Amino acid sequence: MNLDPFASALIALLASAAMSAGLFAAAVRQPEELARPQRIWARAIVLAPAGWLLLEWAQDLPSLAVPGKTLIVASFVEYLRALLASRGRMPDSPWFAAPVCLVAVASAIMLFTQPGLPMRTGMLSLLCAGIAASTAVVALHGGRTRRGGNAGIVAIAFLLCAGVMAARGLLLFMPEGSAARTWIDQPWVETLMLGGAMLAPAVASLGFVLMGSERLLERLEGIASTDSLTGLLTRHAFLQRAEALLAAPGYRGAALLVLDLDHFKQINDGHGHDTGDQALRLVAGAMRQQLRAGDLLGRHGGEEFTVFLPSTGAAEAEVLAETLRAAVSHIGLLADGEALHLKVSIGLSVLGPDERDLGGLLKRADEAMYAAKRGGRDQVRVHPGGQA
Ligand SMILES: Nc1nc2c(ncn2[C@@H]2O[C@H](COP(=O)(O)OP(=O)(O)OP(=O)(O)O)[C@@H](O)[C@H]2O)c(=O)[nH]1
pLDDT digits (tens, 9 = 90+) for 366-385: 999 999 999 999 999 999 87
Tell me the pTM: 0.71
Model confidence pLDDT, tens digit, residues 240-263: 999 999 999 989 999 999 999 999
The ipTM value here is 0.98
Q: Could you tell me the distance, in angstroms and rounded to a whole number, from the CA of residue 375 to the centre of ligand 1?
A: 19
Report which ligand 1 atom has the smallest distance to the Cα of 261: 20
| Distance, CA of 129 to CA of 165 (rounded, Å) | 5
Degrees to nearest 5, angle at CA 338 with 335 and 340: 75
What is the set of domains in the chain, with CATH numbers? 5-221 (1.20.1070), 235-386 (3.30.70.270)
Confidence of residue 59 (pLDDT cuts 50, 70, 90): confident
Q: Which residue of 263, 264, 333, 366 sits with most ligand 1 atoms within 8 Å of its CB, as the best mutation to test the pocket?
A: 264
User: For 37-52, what is the mean pLDDT?
Assistant: 93
pLDDT value at position 155? 92
Tell me the residue type at 248: A
Q: Is the CB of 273 under 6 A from ligand 1?
A: yes
Model confidence at 120: pLDDT above 70: yes
Strand partners, 258: 306, 347
Residue 138 has pLDDT above 80, yes or no: yes
Beta-carbon count within 10 A of 188 CB: 11
Mean pLDDT of 33-44: 93
- Burial profile 72-82: b = 16 or more Cβ within 10 angstroms, e = fewer: bbbbbbbbbbb
Residue 367 in contact with ligand 1 by CB distance below 6 A: no
pLDDT at 386 over 70: no
Residues 6+ apart with CB under 8 A from 380: 318, 321, 322, 325, 346, 347, 348, 372
Using CB atoms within 10 Å of the CB of residue 200, give its burial: 0 to 12 exposed, 13 to 18 middle, 19+ buried.
buried
275 C-beta closer than 6 A to ligand 1: no
214 close to 145: Cβ distance less than 8 angstroms: yes
